[in-house]
Amino acid sequence: MPKSTFYNLPANKKDRVIEAAIDEFAAFTYYKASITRIVEKADIAKGSFYQYFEDKKDLYNYIIALIAEEKLEYLGEVINNMDSYEFFQLLRELYSSGIKFARANPKLQAIGNKLYSNIDSPIFKEVIDSQKVKSIEFFQMLLKKGIERGEVDENINIELVSHMLTILNISLGELIYEDGQINMDDMKIIEGMLYVLENGLRSS
Amino acid sequence: MPKSTFYNLPANKKDRVIEAAIDEFAAFTYYKASITRIVEKADIAKGSFYQYFEDKKDLYNYIIALIAEEKLEYLGEVINNMDSYEFFQLLRELYSSGIKFARANPKLQAIGNKLYSNIDSPIFKEVIDSQKVKSIEFFQMLLKKGIERGEVDENINIELVSHMLTILNISLGELIYEDGQINMDDMKIIEGMLYVLENGLRSS
Amino acid sequence: MPKSTFYNLPANKKDRVIEAAIDEFAAFTYYKASITRIVEKADIAKGSFYQYFEDKKDLYNYIIALIAEEKLEYLGEVINNMDSYEFFQLLRELYSSGIKFARANPKLQAIGNKLYSNIDSPIFKEVIDSQKVKSIEFFQMLLKKGIERGEVDENINIELVSHMLTILNISLGELIYEDGQINMDDMKIIEGMLYVLENGLRSS
Amino acid sequence: MPKSTFYNLPANKKDRVIEAAIDEFAAFTYYKASITRIVEKADIAKGSFYQYFEDKKDLYNYIIALIAEEKLEYLGEVINNMDSYEFFQLLRELYSSGIKFARANPKLQAIGNKLYSNIDSPIFKEVIDSQKVKSIEFFQMLLKKGIERGEVDENINIELVSHMLTILNISLGELIYEDGQINMDDMKIIEGMLYVLENGLRSS
DNA sequence: GATGAATGAGCGTTCATTCAT
DNA sequence: AATGAATGAACGCTCATTCAT
């Protein structure tokens, strides 16, 4: 967690640090990212950095949390009105929000895509897994509701399918992220995926 | 490519080098992996290493090739008899072989899981993408055959579904790779996934 | 160019670095000169060195520039009053200043003598050649003036003679540089050389 | 000195070693020259090299001696008939032979030009200086004879002028060696230099 | 005598972090 | 709180030389 000194910073300087960090982590994986470049870009002293953050990891975790927060804002509306959506419609909205987020925040998406690069240290694994676990649990909950409502096939393996939905969700971000990966407009991607999932999961 | 000196090495020493390298690349991403640790573990001189390999990248590529080779042995049988399987049966076999490989070679699987970490450098991106592309093209081919035979729903978006199948395939390796990810026996995982995919993809 | 951090260093430390570098480059050619020895001698951390200089070449160029500067101070007076000297008197002064510099700065002279060692790398070739070319052009200019004034024989091959004067000038530094080369006092050396050149070049 | 094993080598292999060494020392200074490259080029085993030569220096000295020998062959004719030449005619012949040698053996000349790069170690200084000293002593002898015969001005400083003649002789090799140095045909260079020297040295 | 693998000290360079001011 | 110089362990890599066969 950043130190109190960081939160007390004038907005301008604080933002410079955040922007520099985002640029750096979007361009390099954690280990290749350089504090030196970040402080240069943010135009703060090297020593100051260590008065704001414990260390490199501290900054990284802070930025990851920022991304999660930002992403939640995209999903927030959907999630808040969760119960008014039919299961597959909700899935469509969630995936769609994810793509919108990636389109609107390509750098943040780039950092997200690099997440798995940093599984080296157990500490990161924890951070990352907890993210994934949250997503999986969320889908499990949705699936259960969907089954209760008779929308989702009750014969599916809930635990596994929640994994699948999570992975496919994550893959969407990567899919659209860079050149050549796939050449389709966003709606086609979502509809194509939903077509399979709906056939695969809907109760008959 | 390793130099001829490496191939001429006594099996014992050669194996020590390979094992040390696998351990290292399983524990660290490419950039964090340390030649120093590898030679220490393998108990060879630093200079010797550079008599065997051009450089770090040379070793890494060699290990990746080793993994690919090893993995092919698991898939080989299935692929060779590709035409005698029905589409979903083939999918089942492929996923099953992937899991068997990961179970039998957890370290190699770990290295594979880290592959995406190295997308930073353009050189690696090329290697990795080509891998993925091959897999995607393979699934496209399978899907087309499946549609021709009337086994697979002709309304699916082939390009997208081949992506999905690739991603799910890769995720299987990660899924079972370490503690806590998922707690099921392999058959249950495969059947759970196939149940959804078969419902989602089979022609009605 | 050294980084600003170097120029901001306390004089004491800065001088230690310079002295260590001069000692090293006086004792070894560029490629054999060792940063490790330099930082040990200067008693600074290896990392500090790279806060002061971009790399080894940066330091080397800085030292070369220092020598050029130092040498110019010896020649400056003469060059500034160029037009008030007769050609051969000017030549005498130039050679004399060169010898004085070498006597006063034997280590810098030693580095200068090694300059030609580094012609291997194109980068150095450029630096070194430009030095020589400057000297040659300077002598060409002097010769032309001398001919105009009727002091110098108009039948000489200007291009070639400017080469000769440059080479003899450089050789003076080497001549007196170390033990055994020649055992004469400086005036005798200059007068001996001038005697020949004056007879050889003066218009009759 | 090379070991007897080297001299006992079949001519073919011996020549391959010599040629590879000449190529290497022509392309790189002593310290940058690589034994590894030499043995590769000569197609002999690394270990064999050390059965032929004590070390790198041993080989280098051998090659230098070879060059001296080769060069002497060019001068030999002139030197043998020394007494039948007038002083300045002899000088002309000597310089002319030097240029011919350089033109005929550009690689050997390149090695010669690099000689001064290797003054680092006292051992080399000795080797090189002894070469120079020989040349200087030779010119001293010539000058004395020239004075006796009344061809050379008796007022010159013999010791110094012998240095000058040596340096100018060496410089001739460098002068013609590479692009851009000077753009004249060989006779023009020699005549231009001799014109000055003759005027400068001839007894009046 | 021939081989070529083995050696290890040494190289220049990087970087997150600490510390004195 | 801010600064930025200082640190030193670690990095990948090179190379002449040795040594076992």
| Bases in strand F with any atom closer than 7 Å to a protein CB | 1-20
Rounded to whole angstroms, how far apart are CA atoms B186 and B175? 10
What pLDDT is attached to residue A32?
Answer: 85
Name the minimum distance, in Å, from the CA of A106 to any CA of chain B: 16
What pLDDT is attached to residue D132?
Answer: 80
Q: Which residue among C116, C156, C195 sits closest to D195, beta carbon to beta carbon?
A: C156
Residue D48: pLDDT band (50, 70, 90) is very high
The dihedral over CA atoms of A15, A18, A24, A26, expressed in degrees to the nearest 10, equals -110
Interchain contact D167–C (C-beta under 8 A): yes
Which pair of structure tokens corresponds to residue C148? 């105009």
What pLDDT is attached to residue B202?
Answer: 87
Residue A127: pLDDT band (50, 70, 90) is confident
What pLDDT is attached to residue A30?
Answer: 87
Interchain contact D168–C (C-beta under 8 A): yes
What pLDDT is attached to residue A130?
Answer: 76
Chain D neighbors of C200, CB-CB under 8 A: 195-201
Residue A122: pLDDT band (50, 70, 90) is low
Provide the sign of the torsion angle of the four alpha carbons A80, A86, A89, A95, taken in this order: positive
Which pair of structure tokens corresponds to residue D137? 């002593």
Mean of the per-residue pLDDT values of chain A: 89
Residue A153: pLDDT band (50, 70, 90) is very high
Burial label for D80, CB within 10 Å (0-12, 13-18, 19+), is exposed
Rounded to whole angstroms, how far apart are CA atoms B192 and A88? 19
How large is the C-alpha radius of gyration of chain D? 19
- Quickly list DSSP for B157-189: -HHHHHHHHHHHHHHHHHHHHSTTS----HHHH
What pLDDT is attached to residue A176?
Answer: 80
Rounded to whole angstroms, how far apart are CA atoms D197 and D88? 9
Is B49's pLDDT higher than 90?
yes
Q: Which residue among C120, C168, C200 sits closest to D199, beta carbon to beta carbon?
A: C200
Q: Which of A99-108, B31-40, B109-118, C25-34 has the lowest mean pLDDT?
A: B109-118
Is D116's pLDDT higher than 80?
no
What pLDDT is attached to residue D117?
Answer: 61
Site of tokens 């001068």: D75
pTM confidence score: 0.88
Flag if A196 and B201 touch (Cβ within 8 Å): yes
List the single protein residue with the shortest CA to C1' distance from E2: D48
Neighbours of A27 (CB within 10 A): 16
Is D180's pLDDT higher than 60?
no
Q: Which residue among C116, C120, C184 sits closest to D28, beta carbon to beta carbon?
A: C120
Closest CA to C67 of C103, C104, C111: C111
What pLDDT is attached to residue B117?
Answer: 62
Q: Which nucleotide is closest, CA of A46 to its C1'?
A: F4
HSE (side-chain half, CA atoms, 13 Å) at C78: 20
List the single protein residue with the shortest CA to C1' distance from E14: C47
CA of A177 to C1' of F4 (A): 38
Chain A adjacent subunits, 3+ CB pairs under 8 A: B
Question: Amino acid identity, residue C26?
Answer: A
* More confident of the two residues B27 and C127: B27
What is the crossing angle of helices A122-148 and A87-104, to 10°?
150
Name the minimum distance, in Å, from the CA of A85 to any CA of chain B: 21
Give the A window 106-135 contacts with B, CB below 8 Å. Answer: 114, 116-120, 129
Is C123's pLDDT higher than 80?
no
Residue D122: pLDDT band (50, 70, 90) is low
- Asked if residue D125 lies in contact with residue D60, where contact means CB atoms within 8 angstroms, the answer is no
| % of chain C exceeding 90 in pLDDT | 65
What pLDDT is attached to residue B119?
Answer: 60
CA–CA distance from D131 to each of C56, C130, C176, D116 (Å)?
33, 29, 18, 12
Name the domain count of chain B: 1
Residue D138: pLDDT band (50, 70, 90) is very high
Is D71's pLDDT higher than 80?
yes
A-B CB pairs within 8 A amount to 114
* More confident of the two residues A178 and B89: B89
Closest CA to A164 of B199, B49, C76, D192: B199
- Asked if residue B57 lies in contact with residue B40, where contact means CB atoms within 8 angstroms, the answer is no
Which pair of structure tokens corresponds to residue D119? 């003054």
Flag if A182 and B160 touch (Cβ within 8 Å): yes
Q: Which nucleotide is closest, CA of A37 to its C1'?
A: E15
Flag if D164 and C168 touch (Cβ within 8 Å): yes
Is B178's pLDDT higher than 70?
no
Flag if D32 and C120 touch (Cβ within 8 Å): yes
Flag if D201 and C201 touch (Cβ within 8 Å): no
Is C120's pLDDT higher than 70?
no
What pLDDT is attached to residue C112?
Answer: 86
* More confident of the two residues B119 and C170: C170
Rounded to whole angstroms, how far apart are CA atoms B42 and B61? 18
Mean of the per-residue pLDDT values of chain D: 89
- CB neighbours of B61 closer than 8 A, spacing ≥ 6? B1, B127
What pLDDT is attached to residue B55?
Answer: 94
The dihedral over CA atoms of C160, C162, C165, C166, expressed in degrees to the nearest 10, equals -110
Q: Which residue among A114, A118, A159 sits closest to B182, beta carbon to beta carbon?
A: A159
Q: Show the domain range for B126.
A: 4-201
What pLDDT is attached to residue A120?
Answer: 63
CA of A62 to C1' of E18 (A): 22
Residue C134: pLDDT band (50, 70, 90) is confident
CA of D72 to C1' of E1 (A): 34
HSE (side-chain half, CA atoms, 13 Å) at B153: 18
* More confident of the two residues A114 and C35: C35
- Quickly list DSSP for A87-114: HHHHHHHHHHHHHHHHHH-HHHHHHHHH
- Quickly list DSSP for C56-81: HHHHHHHHHHHHHHHHHHHHHHHHHT
- CB neighbours of B193 closer than 8 A, spacing ≥ 6? A160, A164, B95, B168, B172
Nearest-CA residue of chain B relative to A196? B200
C-D CB pairs within 8 A amount to 114
| % of chain B exceeding 70 in pLDDT | 93
DSSP 8-state symbol, D173: H
Q: Which nucleotide is closest, CA of C46 to its C1'?
A: F8
- CB neighbours of A145 closer than 8 A, spacing ≥ 6? A87
What pLDDT is attached to residue B24?
Answer: 95
Q: Which residue among A155, A161, A168 sits closest to B167, beta carbon to beta carbon?
A: A168
Q: Which of A5-14, A108-117, A142-151 has the lowest mean pLDDT?
A: A108-117
At C203, phi and psi to the nearest 5? -70, 145
SS3 D180: coil
CATH of residue B41? 1.10.357.10
B58-91, pLDDT tens digit by residue?
999 999 999 989 998 988 888 999 999 999 999 9
Interchain contact B40–A (C-beta under 8 A): no
| % of chain B exceeding 90 in pLDDT | 67
Flag if C182 and D159 touch (Cβ within 8 Å): yes
Interchain contact B37–A (C-beta under 8 A): no
Which pair of structure tokens corresponds to residue D185? 């045909």
Interchain contact B175–A (C-beta under 8 A): yes
Interchain contact C36–D (C-beta under 8 A): no
Question: Amino acid identity, residue B203?
Answer: S
- Are C and B close enough to touch, i.e. 3+ CB pairs under 8 angstroms? no
Q: Which nucleotide is closest, CA of C33 to its C1'?
A: E11
Burial label for C150, CB within 10 Å (0-12, 13-18, 19+), is exposed
Nearest-CA residue of chain D relative to C162? D193
Chain C neighbors of D191, CB-CB under 8 A: 157
| % of chain A exceeding 90 in pLDDT | 64
Chain B adjacent subunits, 3+ CB pairs under 8 A: A
- Are B and A close enough to touch, i.e. 3+ CB pairs under 8 angstroms? yes
DSSP H helix total and E strand total for chain D: 10, 0
Interchain contact A168–B (C-beta under 8 A): yes
What pLDDT is attached to residue C95?
Answer: 93
Q: Which nucleotide is closest, CA of D32 to its C1'?
A: F15
